[in-house]
Amino acid sequence: MDKYNKRVAVLIDAENVSSNNAKQIFDTMSSYGEVTIKQIFADWSNPQVSPWKKEIENFSIVANHQFAFVKGKNTSDLSLVIQAMIILYEKDVDTFCIVSSDSDLTRLVQELRERNKLVIGMGGRNSIKSFVNAFSEFIYLGETEHIVLENLPKFDELPKLVPNHTSHPQIKPSKQPKHKPILEQDKLETMREIIERLIDESGRALYAQIATEMKNKYSDFVPKNYNAKSLKYLMEKLLPVLKHYDVFEESLQNNPNSKIMSLVKKKEMLKK
């Protein structure tokens, strides 16, 4: 089925996710298909979730109310589970999006996947690994692309030049902030192992194969989580640390404008 004909249900735990993420949630999920079900869950007597009320109007979300009978206890997750199971058995939905960082929803995610549904998770970086890995894909909320200028030293950190007619001024390099690695070390090592095995088997490692195997191991291996709009751009970012490989492009016979992208061993490596 074409993705544009797929039906998507978005279920949001408002007590666990900021309303500032509303646009990212629906912009992202619209790329998976038609969002036909939008539901949000909270104890709406709690003033902390009141900022969501504006977004409920903006995105035409159905609000579900659940009183918190015990102070400090999130009871909206149970309401979310009930509605998810109703949708599963009564609605024609291909993809579920669970917006929460609450690991209590792990079993729900597993159940939906066991019913052959694509289940997308959206939540914070504080989500525990077992919860993240339960999803088909997991996308982190509230992260935007950092521009290169943010890595430059601030004006007051720049070295000061002192006039000296007898010698050139000594300029000490300012300390650059540490760069966050593009890909976590464990994932990078796993990717190298996958690439090596694929090249050993067929002489090249197709991007699509790399992505599939990485996502099978890490559900949060999604280009969006690394400020890349597609796998191609993510691989371009990773090439400087994948020094032993070159990019190989092959045009499709029926569509010369489309390219099959893969990695091959560098020629100097083959000589060794």
**Domain assignment of residue 263, yes or no:** yes
Residue 250: pLDDT over 90: no
pLDDT in tens, 136-180: 999 999 875 433 333 333 434 434 444 444 444 444 444 444 445
Range 227-233, long-range pairs (CB < 8 A, 24+ positions): 227/143, 227/144, 227/145, 227/146, 231/207, 232/207, 232/261
**Same domain, yes or no, for 10 and 80?**
yes
Both tokens of 150, joined, read 């943010």
pLDDT in tens, 107-130: 999 999 999 999 999 999 999 999
**Same domain, yes or no, for 134 and 189?**
no
Domain count, the chain: 2
**Same domain, yes or no, for 199 and 120?**
no
**Same domain, yes or no, for 113 and 226?**
no
**Same domain, yes or no, for 10 and 81?**
yes
**Same domain, yes or no, for 116 and 194?**
no
Strand partners, 262: 206, 248
**Domain assignment of residue 169, yes or no:** no
**Same domain, yes or no, for 196 and 95?**
no
DSSP collapsed to 3 states, 54-83: HHHHHCCCEEEECCCCCCCCCCHHHHHHHH
From the CB of residue 152, how many other CB atoms can be counted at a distance below 10 Å?
13
**Domain assignment of residue 11, yes or no:** yes
Give the pLDDT of residue 175.
Answer: 46
Range 63-68, long-range pairs (CB < 8 A, 24+ positions): 63/39, 64/39, 64/40, 66/41, 66/42, 67/43, 68/43
Judge contact between 49 and 42, C-beta under 8 A. yes
Q: Which CATH number characterizes residue 111's domain?
A: 3.40.50.1010
- Please, what is the angle between helix 207-217 and helix 231-238, to 10°? 90
**Domain region containing 122:** 3-140
**Domain assignment of residue 176, yes or no:** no
pLDDT in tens, 29-86: 999 999 999 999 999 988 999 999 999 999 999 999 987 655 655 678 889 999 999 9
**Domain assignment of residue 113, yes or no:** yes
**Same domain, yes or no, for 118 and 189?**
no
Domain boundary among 125, 140, 155: 140
**Domain assignment of residue 178, yes or no:** no
pLDDT in tens, 5-19: 799 999 999 999 999
Q: Which CATH number characterizes residue 194's domain?
A: 3.30.420.610
Domain boundary among 83, 112, 140: 140
**What pTM was computed for the model?**
0.76
